[in-house]
A and B are shown apart, each in its own frame.
Chain A
Amino acid sequence: MNLLKKLIAVLALVPALALAEGYQLDHAPDQSKDLASLQRGAKLFVNYCLNCHAASSMRYNRLRDIGLNEDEVKTNLLFTTDKVGDLMTISMNPKDAKQWFGVTPPDLSVIARAKASEEGSGTDWLYTYLRAFYKDDSRPTGWNNMVFPNVGMPHVFWELQGTQKPVYVKSTEGEGKDAKEESKFDHFELIKPGKMSKQEYDVAVADLVSYLDWMSEPTRNLRQQLGVWVLLFLGVLVVLTWRLNASYWKDIK
Chain B
Amino acid sequence: MSSHAEPLAFKANARRALADRDLDTALGRMTSGLVPNRARAVAALPEFEALRDRARELKDHVLVNLDHYLERFETNCLASGGQVHWCPTAEDARRIVLEVCRAAGARTVTKSKSMIAEELGLNGFLEANGIRPIETDLGEYIVQLADEPPSHIIAPAVHKTKEQISELFHRHHARYGLSQRQTEPRALVAEARQVLRQKFLDADVGITGANFLIAESGSSVMVTNEGNGDLTQTLPRVHVVIASIEKVVATLEDATTILRLLSRSATGQEFSAYTTITTGSKRPEDADGPDEFHVILLDNGRSALIGSEFQDILRCIRCGACMNHCPVYRSVGGHAYGAVYVGPMGAVLSPALIGIERGLHLPNASSFCGRCESVCPMRIPLPKLMRYWRERAFDSGAAPAAERWALRAWAWAACRPRLYAQGARLAARLLRLLGGSRGRIGRLWLAGAWTATRELPAPEGRTFQERWHAERERSDG
A binds B: no
